[in-house]
Structure 1
Amino acid sequence: MEEKPDGGPERAPAPQLRRRLGRADLRAVPEARRALRELLRQWGRPGRSEIAELLTSELVTNALVHTDDDAVLTATVRPGGLRVEVRDFVAGRPAPRVPHADDGAQRTNGRGLVLVQSLADSWGVRPHGVGKAVWFELDAGAA
């Protein structure tokens, strides 16, 4: 590490992925997974890749299918783990919905968020400007 002008150690910037996702362009889903896989490889945690990719796919797909605008994917490696966030420009809050046996094929909204809720170490939704950010975190030490 280099020294900062104040004499303290200079920290390398946290590895980060940032992608603009084109409205309704579902090709962005596999592209986001590939970019995230590379970020995790750089982070030295490729074992978390499958879960991170699955959860990222859910957030990206939700943003592209349920909104009429672009979205922004940001993934940041922090000292404690990985944080992935997808911002969109629609104010409505998504909610996880546990599927029931009597659900018809048309009632699939919210099921992906059940995966996020189950597999992420933490997750949430926060207002962001005119829209919202849906995020999840995976701890660095988790297997």
Structure 2
Amino acid sequence: MTLLRPALVGFAAGVLSVLLFHQGTVALLHAAGLVPNAPFRLHAVPPLGVPQLVSIAFWGGVWGSGLGLFLASSGRRWPPMLAGLVMGVCCSLVGFTVVAALRGQPLLGGLDPGRWWRSLLINGAFGWGVGVLLLAARRVFRG
């Protein structure tokens, strides 16, 4: 039962971080003309046909649960924002390998430096945001 709380708080932090930090970074990059897709996209995506934003938020919650559990089990050895940033890099690596393979896309982003820096920036902002939100939750829900 003690791991349920960090998993749930992590899930919530992951979902909120997608909405605030991930999509906020996409919005800034889109406004600057650096990414073609606008944030908060609601078109249906396979395999379930749910809106893209819902899918991204769900997977952000899954990653956030993992980070919440990791931080809870590691004590206070990892600063949450640093752990979140590392998690964001891991998200990019999984996206460029596992997700790309499942979708039939080029592995490692086709070694396109533009894809890499955008992915690292967007996912890094997401991960850092999860860390910020978990740190805030730790202070609010001491115990």
- Give the TM-score of the pair, scaled to structure 1: 0.30
- Indicate the structure (1 or 2) with the bigger Cα radius of gyration: 1
Higher helix share: 2
TM-score using structure 2 length: 0.30
Larger % of strand: which?
A: 1
Structure ranking higher on relative contact order (CA contacts 8 Å, 6+ apart): 2
